[in-house]
Amino acid sequence: MSSTISEPKAYRAGKLAKLIDGLRYQGGIGQWSWLVHRVTGLGILLFLVIHVVDTFFVVFNPALYDHTVAIYGGVFGGTYYWPLRWAFRLAELGLIATVLFHAVNGVRVILFDFWNEGCKYQKESFRAVLLVFLALMIPAAIAVILPLATAPEHITQIPENVATARP
Amino acid sequence: MARNRIKPAGGFELTAWYFMRISGLVLVFLAVGHLFIMHIANNVENINYAFVAGRWADPRTGWIWRLWDLCMIGLAMFHGFNGLRQILDEHVHGAKARVAMHTTIWTVMTALIVLGTYAIWMFQEDRAYVEQWKAMNAKAVALQPPGAIHPSGGSHAAIRGKLPNIAGD
Amino acid sequence: MSDLADPNTGQIRWRDLTLRIKRYDPEKDREPHWQEFKIQAHPMDRVLDVLMKVKWEQDDSIALRKSCAHGICGSDAMRINGQNNLACKLLVQNVKGKTITVEPILGLPVIKDLIVDMKPFFDHYKAVMPFLVNDDPAPTTERLQTPEQRARFDDTTKCILCACCTTACPPFWGNREYVGPAAIVNAHRFIFDSRDQGAGERLDILNDSEGIWRCRTVFNCTSACPRGIQVTQAISEVKRALITGVVDIPEEAEVLS
């Protein structure tokens, strides 16, 4: 059977178009809290992978471990760089914020699932999450940022590895 | 109520979902507690081999920290990688692609758990290293008390470059 | 058009609106594109009226589904100013700003303009057996239940299958295989019905890897539902039934049994 009309095709949005359209959706508090929960979860996982690997140094190479964690204090290759120290301090603050939000909002999600009334207070509970988050975050931020006001007390010297007493 | 009883609960997705809630609840205490100890109670700049050894190799309390860290790495890894799997399941649809994705995720997770568990379980304090470290830094502090290292008093830019290059010494 | 203003009071102020529609013509376009129309609208007009006026007076090629136009048939679900709604339930006076943005619901293939292919949606609906399952011999009278038992699933009987919830669901946008909130709502309607005996089978279907556990409690479904169904609450109840293995239905009264 011949046809003069071409078969119409439906439009299927690609991944990028769906992502943009999805972010444009006006879902309000529920959607934003879900998105932030997801992004913070991925961020924590990325950090965790790095953290497990760097902590593994501790068991076979103490000096490598000390050189690695010295970077957190702004010392790279034995030299102190203050922007490095600032960058790691701010990243540390970001990590604490990420974990705290994921933890507090995670409790909120658990309440939806295991408390029958939980879903009724979706928006109110998010405000409570923000309050608890800020209440924990402000003192944490002060504790983390305050040492930046002064220079490091001293730069730790890291010895060569001693090739004994390791498994 | 007897007729309302349907069946015992089960299935992988159900178990995974349930696990996410339970492990999440436990991790709130383990991970937030860990963050508190490492970043608030201690200055993160003071955490080093000697600090870790002092925790894990303590004859009386060492086992508590090791148990804490073992629980944390196991739960956090399963929680994190299962979360990643749930996210990717939304975007990877082909049967073969999913098998490949799941295999990769569980393999990487197992490798990291083994790595972390080995570090925590097999850790033995390198006393010679710690002694040498203590000796070197006792000297360093004695030579450069706070203030001496930082004569200008506040600016980080000022002390930049004035510090001894330790690696070169 | 201002001569259509109410002649008695002269008080009603017509609003100058811009209607932005996401257009897609399968015979010409490769991707959807935006088109704008200027129109005056009465505050008590529904968005559907605005759309139809544009269609009648400015561009008759605009394609959309509508039927009853009173929020019952569920055929004119679309995304209005970023949120899923029925065009016949949203009044112009409740629209903020001077622009009404109208686009097809997200996550389903677009056939033309605002018309989407609802087949995946109805396939999921059919999958949960949305009908009464009862193998007992049919009684000569009605199958009775108490008001409490009826109230147990009252909220989920309101569903009109408009797909507002399912196409507001981020997990469904990513994965069209996910059974979706609407199907779970309709499963809930029978799972918690004291006259029904198919709860076990339905829970089994929802326990699938593309089933209820894909729900991430985003609450987009609840806020999108034009019937005000507490969708996430219903989903949570089904989840709890799956976790505990117990369907929580009020006890039958002595007089009924």
pLDDT at residue A157, rounded to an integer? 78
Question: Domain span at residue C27?
Answer: 15-116
Q: Which of C88, C116, C144 is the last residue of a domain?
A: C116
Whether residue B138 is found in the same domain as residue B108? no
* C6 within domain boundaries: no
Q: Which of A41, A58, A159 sits opposite B52 (nearest CB)?
A: A58
Domain containing residue C129: CATH number: 1.10.1060.10
Fold of A28-149: 3 helical TM bundles of succinate and fumarate reductases (1.20.1300)
pLDDT at residue C75, rounded to an integer? 95
Two tokens at C26? 């399968």
Residues in contact with C148: Cβ distance below 8 Å, sequence separation at least 6, in sequence order: C250
CB-based contact (8 Å) between A8 and chain C?
yes
Per-residue pLDDT tens over the stretch B50-59:
899 999 998 9
**Subunits close to B (at least 3 CB pairs below 8 A):** A, C
Per-residue pLDDT tens over the stretch A108-120:
999 999 998 999 9
| Total CB pairs under 8 A between chain A and C | 94
* C204 within domain boundaries: yes
pLDDT at residue A9, rounded to an integer? 82
Q: Measure in Å the smallest separation between the Cα of B20 and chain C Cα atoms.
A: 11
Per-residue pLDDT tens over the stretch C187-212:
999 999 999 999 999 999 999 989 99
Residue of B nearest to A93 (CA): B39
pLDDT at residue B152, rounded to an integer? 36
Q: Is residue B158 predicted with pLDDT exceeding 50? A: no
Domain ranges of chain A: 28-149
Q: Is residue A149 predicted with pLDDT exceeding 90? A: no
Q: Is residue C13 predicted with pLDDT exceeding 70? A: yes
Among A154, A164, A166, the strongest candidate for a mutation testing the B interface, having the largest count of B CBs within 10 A, is A154
Using a CB-CB cut-off of 8 Å, the residues of chain B touching C208 are 13
* C3 within domain boundaries: no
- ipTM exceeding 0.85? yes
* B169 within domain boundaries: no
Phi-psi category of B11—alpha, beta or left, where left has phi over 0 and alpha has psi -120 to 50? Answer: left
DSSP labels, B114-127? HHHHHHHHH----H
- Which amino acid belongs to residue C84? N
Name the residue among C21, C19, C55, C25 with its Cα closest to residue C37.
C19
pLDDT at residue C3, rounded to an integer? 46
Domain count, chain C: 2
| Total CB pairs under 8 A between chain B and C | 53
* Contact between A103 and A44 (Cβ < 8 Å): no
Q: Is residue A83 predicted with pLDDT exceeding 70? A: yes
Q: Is residue C26 predicted with pLDDT exceeding 60? A: yes
Residue of C nearest to B93 (CA): C175
pLDDT at residue B159, rounded to an integer? 41
Domain count, chain B: 2
State whether A25 and C106 contact (CB < 8 Å).
yes
pLDDT at residue C117, rounded to an integer? 94
User: What is the percent of chain A where pLDDT is above 90?
Assistant: 57
- Cα torsion for A3, A6, A12, A14, to the nearest 10°? 140
Domain containing residue B81: CATH number: 1.20.1300.10
Average predicted confidence (pLDDT) for chain C? 91
Q: Which of C26, C82, C103 sits opposite A10 (nearest CB)?
A: C26
Two tokens at C122? 């109805």
* C7 within domain boundaries: no
Q: Which of C91, C116, C141 is the last residue of a domain?
A: C116
Instruction: Return phi, psi of residue C56, to 5°.
Output: -75, -40
Question: Domain span at residue B135?
Answer: 126-164
Using DSSP, state whether C244 is helix, strand or coil.
helix
pLDDT at residue B139, rounded to an integer? 61
Per-residue pLDDT tens over the stretch A89-135:
999 999 999 999 999 999 999 999 999 899 999 999 999 999 999 99
Whether residue C32 is found in the same domain as residue C154? no
Per-residue pLDDT tens over the stretch B12-30:
999 999 999 999 999 999 9
Chain CA centroid to CA A116, Å: 30
Using DSSP, state whether C240 is helix, strand or coil.
helix
Q: Are strands C110-112 and A79-80 parallel, antiparallel or unpaired?
A: unpaired
User: What is the percent of chain C where pLDDT is above 70?
Assistant: 94
* C58 within domain boundaries: yes
Q: Is residue C73 predicted with pLDDT exceeding 90? A: yes
User: What is the percent of chain B where pLDDT is above 70?
Assistant: 76
Q: Which of C67, C92, C116 is the last residue of a domain?
A: C116
CB-based contact (8 Å) between B2 and chain C?
no
What CA–CA distance (Å, rounded) separates A25 from C107? 12
Mean pLDDT, rounded, for C83-90 = 96
Q: Is residue C243 predicted with pLDDT exceeding 70? A: yes
pLDDT at residue C78, rounded to an integer? 96
pLDDT at residue B10, rounded to an integer? 78
CB-based contact (8 Å) between B81 and chain A?
yes
Using a CB-CB cut-off of 8 Å, the residues of chain C touching A118 are 236
Mean pLDDT, rounded, for B103-116 = 97
Whether residue C82 is found in the same domain as residue C159? no
pLDDT at residue B169, rounded to an integer? 35
Using DSSP, state whether A3 is helix, strand or coil.
coil
